Amino acid sequence: MRVLPIMALTICSLLLSSNADRNARLLWGKTIVRIFNKSEMQADMVVHCWSSEDDLGPHTVKFNQSYEFPFKVNWSGSTKFLCKVKFGNGDWKYWYGFKYWRDDEVGHLVGWNVNETRPCRSDEACMSYN
């Protein structure tokens, strides 16, 4: 029974900290990752994302369309989704579609504009493929 007061104190501390909004999402909110196909060749895109807890399977996305998935960040804030994409008959390219400590500052919706060259977050922060 000692666990409950400690847990309640931890939750209160998180909510009262300087990052209260971020911590509230960590505890209760859902995040959505939305991936837009912005192919330079206007090709179909196949995207496949997974975490240590979920494998979302492959999805075909037409040019200028999007695929999205909702999830809850885990208690420790270590949630990350690795994604791979390929355009037409091209090779698979990999990047982290979500990393809590990198992307949570964006808010509930983490949007990506993805093409053959690189994935760019909606706030124009671009990443390199691995």
21 lies in a domain? no
Residue 19 pLDDT > 80: no
**Contacts of 28 by beta carbon, 8 Å cutoff, 6+ apart:** none
What's the structural domain count of the chain?
Answer: 1
pTM (whole model) above 0.95: no
Q: What pLDDT does residue 76 have? A: 86
Residue 35 burial by Cβ neighbours in a 10 Å radius (0-12, 13-18, 19+)? buried
Q: Which domain holds residue 60?
A: 29-121
111 lies in a domain? yes
CATH number, domain of 41, equals 2.60.40
What letter would DSSP give residue 105? G
pLDDT digits (tens, 9 = 90+) for 36-95: 999 999 999 999 999 999 999 999 999 999 999 999 998 888 999 999 999 999 999 999
Per the prediction, the chain carries an average pLDDT of: 86
40 lies in a domain? yes
